Every structure is written in structure tokens, then in C-alpha cells.
Amino acid sequence: MQYTSVENNSASASKKNTQMAQVSGISATDKLAILGGTPVRTEPYPQWPVVDRRDVEAVTTVIQSGRWGGAPYPGPQTLAFAKQFTAMQGGDFAVPMVNGTVTMEVALRAVNIGWGDEVIVPAYTFQATAGAPMAAGAIPVIVDIDPNTYCINPVAIEAAITAKTRAIIPVHLGAQMADMDAIMAIAKHHNLIVIEDCAHAHGAQWNGQGAGTIGHFGSFSFQSSKILTTGEGGVLLCRTQELADRAASIINCGRPPVLEEQTSMQGGNNLSQLLYELAKLGNQEQVFTLGTNYRMTEIQAALGNVALERFPEQVAQREAMVNYLEKRLGEVPGVRLLKHDPRHSKRSFYRYIFAIEPKVFGANHDQVCLALYTEGIPCWAGYPAMHRYDLFQPQLSRLPVPSAFPQYFDFKAMSFPEAERASEGEAIWLDESVFRAGQQGIDDVITAIAKIQSNTAALAVANTVKKLAVKSMQFKPVKALMDFYISQSNK
């Protein structure tokens, strides 16, 4: 394993701590906000999502039109959204859906991947990446991540391939991209389908090619926290018209995709509605495949069309601020920046993830994160490693796949050292809003981290307090106990 800039020598770390503290105008006596001191930042970071009158007008127009839902599919707003999304992200065939989980399930079903097939997923991601294969009847096979990017490790993929392997779902995590060159080479060699989970990668590019257009499918989420949001929503980018047709049919109750597409293309609202009704009256609603209703609504699509207008400027703004942050963050002792692979030619930031060295900080990432949060910096300690999730365990979930194939879900016997290191010790995820608050927003992040570093001893006490406080919630007086520990930390 290679780290880029881990500081292990505690003597030199504490010297650097002092330097850092001086640079930031923070002294070791400044009390941490978590211990009742003044937070570095009291002004809130900008809210998400950004809203203006365009959103209100777009939704009002849809509401007044009476055409709210997704049928006949795709409606005019949804069709426009699909076109504008591909114009921004690349790729030719986009199928809008209800969210960025079913997109992956539908991709698998569109290529007949199902019961008992193995799908390789990374050990560090949101549960949906493994949940979607299970919804299609397939078995998620978890593999470890690359510590330099926290994305799936191609060497681990190769090692996990069996005769039953049918697909790989790499996740472009936070603001990183998985090594798509290596993954596509493996997929070609073993004849596997690649579904890029791009829930965090709107606007990102690899070798000049949009995320989600390199694999056979690209899955995007527009859930509320995502940097392109429609409240809830998703798009599946498909490499061919045939795949897009199958996906469009699966999400539209199995209806033939061509009829639906033609009706919407020909005349928008009234004509398509009329043709749809006529088809129904004539009992011509043939079933193309077994499907369900995963259609995006017109209201969601209208919000997406407005969000796309703002999107390029927001991406550029975050990128400028990340560049500013990276110049200074890497100098903080005990902080390791993830690597920026030059093939990742355009970065886009959903969450900015960096690693701390717990030994140097004297605290684990969740403790540092809590202290950082209390200093006024929106952040998160990230996902648990996939094998720590309870919900896939056969005896708990009673889902068909874990129940039928329990040998794949013996999580206690599994070990993914890099995912564990990230999720249980190192990773800190900064919110995207941090990068929309100008240089001051970034300066505050650096100051807060330096302050925490200068107070590692106090942080340890704060953590003891927190643990005791949590344990003592049932008992009174918790406040007195906390006051006692805080007074000890000030001695």
C-alpha cells in the first residue's frame, strides 16, 4: 500500500502542528468548540439545493399543464431532460427513471443478468450499489478499494472473477473516478458488463470522456443531496439504442419503447396523450418485456432542466475552490490527500474526501469529524465498509438472494483492509457547500483542522466526555459530568 504524504513521526508532527497553528493564527489554548469554545465559523455555508424563480416557474408550468406523471413515457419535460443531460455528460441514449438505484437494477435486467449471477461491487460505497444487483436476483461480490482513490481496486476485481461473474459496478466515489482503463480491459477480457455508478460523478470526465459513457451503462442519481438534483430521480446512460429500448420498456411496465417514444416525439402533450388513449382503447398495449413503473415524473424532469442551466457554473466554482484547498490541506501534518489521476481529466465534486492519520491526530476520523462539524464545517465520516452493513445478512434481511446464497454473505469471515481503514479510521468527507462559499469558506476549513490538530489532547478528553455522555443519557445529571470533564481538560 502506498500513501502519498503520511506523517508518522510524532516529534516532527508536533513541530509541524505548531507551525500550522501559527500560520492559521490558532493557538494551542484556543478551546475546541466541542468543549464549549468559540467555533471557527458561525456563518452557515450556502444551502443546497440552490433555488430561484426559474424552479418555481418550471414546476408551475407543469402543474398547470395537468401532465404531472411519467406516462405516456417519456413526456416532453422528461424527453428534454434526457437530451440536455446527454449534451452535458456525453453519451447518446439516456433513460430517465425514479432514482439512481433502480437505474442499476434495470441495467442488469436489460442484459439478462439475474438469479445466481455474480456482480462485483466495491467494499466502500452506499448500500444501493450492492442492493441493486440483489433486486435483480444477482449476488453482489464485494472487493476491496484502492487506498489512493477509495474507488474499486482493479487487481481485486480480477482476483474475484469466477465462471459466474457477469458484471462489474465501479463507483466513482466522492470526487474520484475508478480506473476505467483497467476496468474496461478486464471486462473485455472476461466478457463482462460494466455499469458505472455515477451517483457522485455528474460532470466528471475520464480521458476527456464523460463518466457513465465508458462502460456499457452509466447510472446517475438526482436525489436531493446530489450535485444535480430533481428531488429524487435517476438516469441510465446506455451505450446502444437496443439497450436503451430495453431499459425504457422495463421501467414503463413492459410497454414497447418505440411506440412510446414516437408518440412523445411527434407532438408533445396532447397528441401523445391522445395516441396513448387510442392505443389503450384498441387494446394495443402489448407487453414487450416484464416491467414495472420506474418512470420519472414531469415535475422532476422540469426541476432537472433548470438545474442543468446552473450546473456548469457550480462545477467550475467548486473546482476553483478545491484547487485552492488542496494547496494548503496537504501541508497539514497527518492529512493525506487522495491522488488525482491525470486521466481523470475533469473533476466534479459531490463530496471532497481526504484521509487523516489517526495516530498523528490522536483521534479517529469520526472523532475529528465531530470536532470539525462543531467548528462549523459541514462534513461526514462516510459510509461503513459494505461487509459491516447489517441489512444484507440473511437472518436479518430475509431477502431472496442472501437467503438462497448464504455462503456469499458470511460477512464475519470477510476482510477488506483498505475499505476498513477508510471507513473506520481515516476518511473525512467535506460537503460540496464548503466549495461554494469563496476563499473564506476554505480558509475556515484549514483553520478548523489546524485548531483540532493543536488540541489533540483536549480532543481526546472531549471524546471521553462524548462516550460517557452517550452512555449516561439515561442518567442525570449528564451536564454536571460533562462540566467536570471539561474543567479537567482546561487544567
Give me the residues that bind ligand PLP (CB under 6 A), please. 99-101, 125-126, 128-129, 171, 197, 199-200, 221, 223, 234
Grid coordinates belonging to 431: 460537503
Q: In what order do the strands lie in the sheet with 139-143?
A: 93-97, 234-238, 217-221, 193-197, 165-168, 118-122, 139-143
Q: Cβ 132 to ligand PLP, closest distance in Å? A: 8
Q: Cβ 103 to ligand PLP, closest distance in Å? A: 8
Q: Cβ 281 to ligand PLP, closest distance in Å? A: 36
Is 471 buried (19+), middle (13-18) or exposed (0-12) by CB count in 10 A? Answer: exposed
Q: Cβ 101 to ligand PLP, closest distance in Å? A: 3
Q: Cβ 246 to ligand PLP, closest distance in Å? A: 20
Nearest to ligand PLP of 129, 165 (CB atom)? 129
Q: Cβ 206 to ligand PLP, closest distance in Å? A: 17
- Which residue, chain included where needed, has cell 454473505? 409
* Nearest one of 308, 310, 299, 309 to 58, comparing CA atoms: 299
CB-based burial, 236-253: b 16+ in 10 Å, e otherwise: bbbbeeebbbbbbbbbbb
Nearest to ligand PLP of 315, 386 (CB atom)? 386
Q: Cβ 350 to ligand PLP, closest distance in Å? A: 8
Residue 43 and residue 374 in contact, taking contact as beta carbons nearer than 8 Å: no
Sign of the CA dihedral with 60 first, then 66, 70, and 75 last: negative
Q: Cβ 394 to ligand PLP, closest distance in Å? A: 23
Nearest to ligand PLP of 223, 433 (CB atom)? 223
Nearest to ligand PLP of 100, 333 (CB atom)? 100
Q: H helices of 141-240, where?
A: 154-160, 180-190
Q: Cβ 471 to ligand PLP, closest distance in Å? A: 31
Nearest to ligand PLP of 93, 126 (CB atom)? 126
Instruction: Tell me the sheet residues that pair with 209.
Output: 206
Q: Cβ 236 to ligand PLP, closest distance in Å? A: 12
Nearest to ligand PLP of 221, 454 (CB atom)? 221
Concatenating the DSSP letter of every residue in 321-332 gives HHHHHHHHHTTS
Nearest to ligand PLP of 101, 264 (CB atom)? 101
CA distances for 415 relative to 132, 382, 420, angstroms: 22, 18, 8
> How many other β-carbons are positioned within 10 Å of the β-carbon of residue 162?
9
Nearest to ligand PLP of 183, 459 (CB atom)? 183
- Three-state SS string over 233-290 comes to CEEEEECCHHHHHHHHHHCECCCCHHHHHHHHHHHHHHHHHHHHHHHHHCCCCCCCCC
Nearest to ligand PLP of 220, 288 (CB atom)? 220
Q: Cβ 126 to ligand PLP, closest distance in Å? A: 4
d(CA 436, CA 453): 25
d(CA 300, CA 288): 26
CB-based burial, 418-433: b 16+ in 10 Å, e otherwise: bbbbbbbbbbbbbbbe
Backbone angles phi, psi at 367, to 5 degrees: -70, -45
**Amino acid found at 92:** D
d(CA 284, CA 89): 36
Q: At what angle do helices 128-135 and 102-110 cross, to 10 degrees?
A: 40
Q: Cβ 232 to ligand PLP, closest distance in Å? A: 6
d(CA 28, CA 341): 36
